[in-house]
Amino acid sequence: MAAKRISQSAINWAQLAERVPEHQKVIFSAFKAKSDGYMRRVTAFPETAPKIDWAFYKNKVPVAGMVDEFQKQYEALSIPYPPNPLTSQLDSLEKEIQNDVNKFKTESNGRIEQYKKQLAHLASLIPYDQMTMEDYRDAFPEESLNPLEKPSFWPHLPEDQLGYQDKDVPTDSGH
């Protein structure tokens, strides 16, 4: 089974270069130079082995049958293309990663929509430097102080409030 000859790189170097961090640009350039050098060396050779003029050698070589034997061996020579057992693994890994990427994109788009709503809400508010305490209470009811329904004492931390019990300290069972 003859494989198709590679005549150009399948890598989109410009797109890949956009993703390379600044501190790795030198390493990337060296890698690209090696790849380009390899591709130039491969394409410098002909795709097929050179044709041999067997009739010329049959007339020049005095040993009978020697050229015929060489011709038979040369034409029987077949260098197999190395097998690639990793392509299927890489394809399945690529599909898994693509699924993860698509899931992340979907989740990110959901977060973006939430953040856009939050930004729209914040943009609709009075600027903080112009807000009164009542304006703040109306804008953020869950964060504002409500002395009638849930009184709070300065510095308004949970451990400074009436009835606070530390979860880490065991309660006394009457001893």
Written as one string, the DSSP assignment of the chain is -PPPPP-S--S-HHHHHHHS-GGGHHHHHHHHHHHHHHHHHHHHS-SSPPP--HHHHHHH--STTHHHHHHHHHHH---PPPP-TTHHHHHHHHHHHHHHHHHHHHHHHHHHHHHHHHHHHHHHSPPGGG--HHHHHHH-TTTS-BTTTB---TT--GGGSTT---SSSPPP---
Decide if 35 is inside a domain: yes
Decide if 67 is inside a domain: yes
**Are residues 66 and 111 located together in one domain of the fold?**
no
The model's pTM is 0.42
- Structurally, how many domains does the chain consist of? 3
Decide if 61 is inside a domain: yes
pLDDT at site 83: 83
pLDDT at site 102: 96
Terminal-residue alpha carbon distance, the chain: 87
In the block, residue with structure tokens 């394809």? 91
Q: Range of 100's domain? A: 93-146
Decide if 165 is inside a domain: no
**Are residues 57 and 32 located together in one domain of the fold?**
no
**Are residues 41 and 21 located together in one domain of the fold?**
yes
**Are residues 99 and 124 located together in one domain of the fold?**
yes
**Are residues 142 and 107 located together in one domain of the fold?**
yes
Residue 58 scores a pLDDT above 50: yes
**Are residues 38 and 66 located together in one domain of the fold?**
no
Tell me how far apart the alpha carbons of residues 63 and 11 are, in angstroms, rounded to a whole number: 52
Decide if 86 is inside a domain: no
Residue 173 pLDDT grade (very low, low, confident, very high; cuts 50, 70, 90):
low
* Average pLDDT of the residues of the chain: 86
pLDDT at site 109: 97
Mean pLDDT of the 7-35 span? 89
Q: Which of 38-42, 72-76, 168-172 has the lowest mean pLDDT?
A: 168-172
